[in-house]
């Protein structure tokens, strides 16, 4: 059964809450990898046993991990495991090696350096390798804890960050474009449990889900234990603003942005989320001037985080490509924001915004749009579980 040692990123710094963070990470490892049979918490690390090989690159909170040989912590057993590790690793021209010993617990009456020397000599007695401590071809890592010792030769980098769920819940404004997809990844990386709100211009939420949003969400699920998406229709807003006088037209987009933020804030309160986030970026498009972003914030009573505020487009695309989400995110899609205004105002005008909002009957419009919501929950267990929810199910999530 493959066994892994997992070292955490910042969890180590969390003092009193450390145990909560560890439990959250352990649960995410299980949920995201159904092959996992057992997760044990040891001092400052975890041991994971799985019935098949797993790749932990998608579990936030992990600094690095290694597949290990696990043996009892006595020198004889450790020596044998080290010797086992060498031939496996010397197939492709390995000439030099080093042993790195870390003693998490003091069980051998020797310093780590003495153990390294002893194990190094044992290797050299069997195999003609030279010791090179600065740039060895092969490093054999030996992590000695009270009961067990872990031997490994390769470390894999994790995504770092905090375990999803450790920082509470956030409601994201998700357009299915690259910016809000990358923003979702970044907020999850800081430990936020995520729910998303998507406004569609298609006939219904299920079609929007099938057309694009669901496909992108499934990719993001590589980094999340679960994801809920709320679909809200854009049509009612479109109808309500159909007859706006020309002099108000250019403020319509910022009014819609405020409308989306308000709807998301309502859902956030309902579901226990303390903040919103979006893929906004300062100055990237006309609607993202500081004036317009501020006008959106002024419409709601909770923080709206914008993790991409300082990124440039290429940085966002590069990250999206690295995450395997760019291909889907750039696919064409009927996008409500592009329907609205070809030339939106760059400066929000509070009096005009107010005029539009009173003209369209904001409160009733909001209530009717929220009443038409369709919600789906995706769980990252394999095979993927995707379940459309009724309001009862949503009440359950709010309690969590």
When computed from its CA atoms, the radius of gyration of the chain, rounded to whole angstroms, is 26
Instruction: Give yes or no for a contact between 170 and 194, defined as CB atoms under 8 angstroms apart.
Output: yes
For ligand ATP, the closer CB: 195 or 280 = 280
Give the nearest distance from C-beta 333 to Mg ion in angstroms.
9
Nearer to Mg ion by C-beta: 73 or 175?
175
Choose the contact partner of 153 out of ligand ATP, Mg ion, none; CB within 5 to 8 A by kind.
none
Q: H or E segment at 239? A: helix 235-240
Nearest residue to 281 (alpha-carbon basis) of 182, 167, 394, 198: 182
**Nearest to ligand ATP of 175, 226 (CB atom):** 175
Q: Given the complex with Mg ion, which of 175 and 289 has the nearer CB atom?
A: 175
Query: Any idea how long the chain is?
Result: 400
CB closer to Mg ion, 329 vs 394: 329
* Closest approach of Mg ion to the CB of residue 392, in Å: 33
Q: Which of ligand ATP, Mg ion, none binds 260 (CB below 5-8 Å, type-dependent)? A: ligand ATP
As measured in angstroms, the least distance from the Cβ of 61 to ligand ATP is: 25
* CA-CA-CA-CA dihedral for 61, 63, 67, 72, to nearest 10: -90
Rounded distance between C-alpha atoms, residue 363 and residue 56, angstroms: 45
Dist. CA 113–CA 130, nearest whole Å: 17
CB of 1 to ligand ATP, least distance (A): 42
> Binding marks (x or -) toward Mg ion, 85..114, rule CB under 5 A?
------------------------------
Beta carbon nearer to ligand ATP, 287 or 397: 287
199 binds, among ligand ATP, Mg ion, none (CB under 5 to 8 A by kind): ligand ATP
Size of the site for Mg ion (CB under 5 A): 2
336 binds, among Mg ion, ligand ATP, none (CB under 5 to 8 A by kind): ligand ATP
Alpha-carbon span 373 to 382, nearest angstrom: 27
Contact partner at residue 174 from Mg ion, ligand ATP, none, CB < 5 to 8 Å by partner kind = ligand ATP
Q: Give the x-and-dash track for 176-215 against Mg ion (CB under 5 A).
A: -x--------------------------------------
Residue 195 binds which entry of Mg ion, ligand ATP, none, with Cβ cut-offs from 5 to 8 Å by kind?
none
Q: Which is nearer to ligand ATP, 65 or 326 (CB)?
A: 326
Q: Which is nearer to ligand ATP, 139 or 278 (CB)?
A: 278
Q: How far is the CB of 335 from Mg ion (least distance, A)?
A: 6
Cβ-based nearer residue to Mg ion, 3 or 175: 175
Nearest Cα to 242, choosing from 125, 359, 399? 359
Nearest CA among 232, 260, 66 for reference residue 157:
66
Instruction: Give me the residues that bind ligand ATP (CB under 6 A), please.
Output: 173-175, 177-180, 197-199, 260, 278-280, 284-285, 287, 336-337
Two tokens, residue 147: 């009961």
End-to-end CA distance of the chain: 33
DSSP track, 77-135:
HHHHHHHHHHHHH-SS---EEEEEEEESS--SSS-HHHHHHHHHHHHHHHS--EE-SSS
Cβ contacts of 204 within 8 Å, gap of 6 or more: 231, 233, 374
Distance of CA 232 to the CA centre of its chain: 24
Smallest gap from Cβ 231 to ligand ATP, in A, equals 9
Contact set for Mg ion, span 164-183 (CB under 5 A):
175, 177
Cβ neighbours of residue 76 under 8 Å, at least 6 residues apart? none
Angle of helix 252-271 relative to helix 350-359, nearest 10 degrees, comes to 70
Query: Is residue 276 within 8 Å of 173, Cβ to Cβ?
Result: yes
Closer by beta carbon to ligand ATP, 201 or else 244: 201
Minimum Å gap between C-beta 336 and ligand ATP is 5
Binding partner at 287 among Mg ion, ligand ATP, none, C-beta below 5 to 8 Å by kind: ligand ATP
Q: Nearest-CB residue to ligand ATP?
A: 177
Q: Tell me which residue of 79, 127, 68, 28 sits closest to 380, measured CA to CA.
A: 28
Nearest distance from residue 326's CB to Mg ion, in Å?
14
203 vs 180: CA distance, rounded Å: 22
Q: Which residues bind Mg ion (CB under 5 A)?
A: 175, 177
């Amino acid at each position: 059964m493959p066994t892994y040692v997992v070292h955490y990123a910042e969890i180590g710094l969390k003092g009193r809450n450390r145990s909560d963070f560890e439990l959250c990470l352990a649960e995410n490892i299980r949920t995201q990898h159904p092959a996992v049979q057992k997760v044990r918490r040891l001092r400052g690390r975890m041991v994971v046993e799985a019935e098949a090989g797993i790749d932990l690159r998608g579990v936030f909170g992990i600094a690095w991990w290694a597949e290990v040989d696990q043996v009892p912590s006595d020198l004889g057993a450790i020596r044998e495991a080290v010797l086992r590790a060498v031939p496996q690793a010397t197939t492709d021209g390995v000439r030099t090696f080093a042993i790195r010993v870390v003693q998490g617990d003091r069980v051998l009456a020797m310093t780590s350096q003495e153990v390294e020397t002893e194990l190094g000599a044992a290797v050299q007695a069997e195999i003609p390798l030279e010791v090179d401590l600065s740039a060895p071809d092969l490093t054999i890592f030996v992590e000695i804890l009270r009961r067990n010792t872990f031997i490994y030769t390769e470390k894999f980098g994790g995504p770092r960050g905090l375990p999803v769920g450790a920082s509470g819940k956030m409601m994201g404004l998700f357009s299915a474009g690259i910016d809000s997809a990358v923003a979702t990844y970044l907020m999850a990386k800081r430990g936020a449990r995520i729910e998303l709100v998507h406004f569609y211009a298609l006939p219904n939420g299920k079609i929007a889900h099938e057309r694009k949003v669901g496909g992108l969400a499934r990719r993001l699920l590589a980094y999340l234990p679960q994801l809920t998406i709320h679909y809200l229709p854009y049509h009612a807003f479109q109808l309500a603003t159909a007859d706006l006088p020309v002099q108000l037209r250019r403020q319509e987009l910022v009014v819609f942005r405020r409308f989306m933020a308000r709807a998301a804030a309502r859902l956030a309160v309902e579901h226990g989320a303390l903040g919103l986030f979006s893929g906004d970026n300062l100055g990237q498009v006309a609607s993202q001037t500081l004036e317009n972003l501020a006008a959106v914030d002024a419409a709601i009573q909770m923080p709206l985080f914008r993790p991409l505020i300082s990124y440039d487009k290429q940085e966002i695309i590069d990250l999206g490509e690295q995450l395997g989400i760019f291909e889907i995110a750039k696919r064409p899609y009927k996008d409500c924001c592009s329907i609205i205004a070809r030339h939106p105002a760059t400066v929000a005008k509070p009096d005009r915004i107010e005029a539009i909002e009173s003209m369209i009957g904001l409160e009733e419009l909001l209530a009717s749009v929220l009443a038409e919501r369709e919600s789906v929950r995706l769980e990252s267990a394999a095979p993927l579980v995707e379940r459309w929810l009724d309001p009862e199910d949503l009440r359950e999530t709010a309690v969590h």
